[in-house]
Amino acid sequence: MSVVVITGASSGIGEATARVLAEKGHKLVLAARRIDRLEALERELSPRTEVLTVRADVARPEDVEGLARMAAERFGGIDVWINNAGVGHSLPWWEEETQALRRVVDVNLTGPILATKAVLPYMLPKRRGHIINVASVAGHVGTTGVYSATKFGLRGHTEALRRELLPYGIRVSLVTPGFIRTELTKGNPMRMPSAEVAGRVIARLVERPRREVVVPGWYRVVISFNHWFPGLTDWITSRFLRTEGGVGQPRRLRLR
C-alpha cells in the first residue's frame, strides 16, 4: 500500500480521490486550508486506513515544505504526491483585481512546482515515487485567459518534469479533467460527471502510472479538434459559448 499526499482534499475531486484510495487501503495525507472539513473526512476514512490531515495553503512554500516533512515523518516516506488544489476566477480576468489574478497563478501553477520541489528530496534518494498533477482540458484548449494560462503552464511543467525525472525512476502523470460537478463548477447548468468519476480515474493512476489521463475520456475529441482545427474552434466558441468568466464562474460559461 502506498503513502499518498493529496492537496485540495477538502472538497471535490481531491476529497473523492481520498475516498477511493481509502477503500483500497492506501495511507493518506490530506491537505487544504479548511481543516474542519479535512478532519471530518479523516473521521470518516480512518476506520479503513491511516489518515493524517494537515492545514496547508499551497501558495505558501513553507506550508508545502511542512506538509512534505510531516508526511515523511509520520509514514517514513512518500510514494505518491497529488497536486490537485486549484482555483478559478469569477469575473472576466481583465476585470479582476491584480492580486486575485496573482493568487490564481500562485495556487494553480507556482503551488504545484514548489510542492514538487518540496517532495523531491524524499523521493530522489530512494529513486522511487510518483507525482500526479491535476491540470484541465483548459490546459489544452484555451478558454479563459488566466486559468488556462496556469493549466497550460502546469501541463508544460509536467511534460518537462516527466523527462527530467525518468533517469531517477520517479513517475510523473498529468490528469486532464473536463467539467466535473464540484464546488468549482457550482451553478453551472451543464450535465457533468460526479467528482467520484474523476476520483476513480486518479486512484487507478496511483496504482498504474500513465503519462496522461483525460476524464471523461470523450474530451480527447475536443482536445484533438482544437489542435487540428483551431480556426473552427475559434468560430464555434465565439458563436456559441461565452467562456470569459472561467471554470470558476459557470454562469458565464454557457451556450449563448
Ligand X SMILES: NC(=O)c1ccc[n+]([C@@H]2O[C@H](COP(=O)([O-])OP(=O)(O)OC[C@H]3O[C@@H](n4cnc5c(N)ncnc54)[C@H](OP(=O)(O)O)[C@@H]3O)[C@@H](O)[C@H]2O)c1
Catalytic residues: 147
Please state whether the peptide bond connecting residue 216 to the residue before it is cis, i.e. omega within 30 degrees of 0. Answer: yes
Site mask, ligand X, residues 43-62, x = CB under 6 A? -------------xxxx---
Backbone angles phi, psi at 6, to 5 degrees: -125, 120
**Helices in the chain by DSSP H: which ranges?**
12-23, 35-45, 61-75, 98-105, 111-123, 145-165, 195-207, 219-228, 230-240
Interface with ligand X includes 200 (CB under 6 A)?
no
DSSP string, 175-241: EEE-S-BSGGGTT--S---BHHHHHHHHHHHHHS--SEEEESTTHHHHHHHHHH-HHHHHHHHHHHE
CB of 2 to ligand X, least distance (A): 20
Interface map 130-169 toward ligand X (x if CB under 6 A): ----x-x---------------------------------
Q: With contacts defined by CB under 6 A, how many residues of the chain interact with ligand X? A: 31
* Minimum CB distance to ligand X, residue 124 (Å): 24
User: Does 245 contact ligand X by CB under 6 A?
Assistant: no
C-beta of residue 56 within 8 angstroms of C-beta of residue 63: yes
Query: Which letter does DSSP use for residue 33 in this model?
Result: S
- State yes or no: residue 33 binds ligand X (CB under 6 A): yes
Contact at 8 Å (CB) between 49 and 27? Answer: yes
Answer for which of 2, 5, 10, 157 binds ligand X (CB under 6 A) is 10
Q: Which three cell numbers stand for residue 240?
A: 456559441
Is position 20 an interface residue for ligand X (rule: CB under 6 A)?
no
Shortest distance in whole angstroms from residue 4 CB to ligand X:
15
Applying CB under 6 A, which of residues 36, 62, 183, 234 lies at the interface with ligand X?
A: 183
Least distance in Å: CB of 167 to ligand X? 28
**Residues listed for the chain:** 256
Contact footprint for ligand X (CB under 6 A): 7-14, 32-34, 56-59, 84-87, 107, 134, 136, 177, 179-180, 182-185, 195, 247
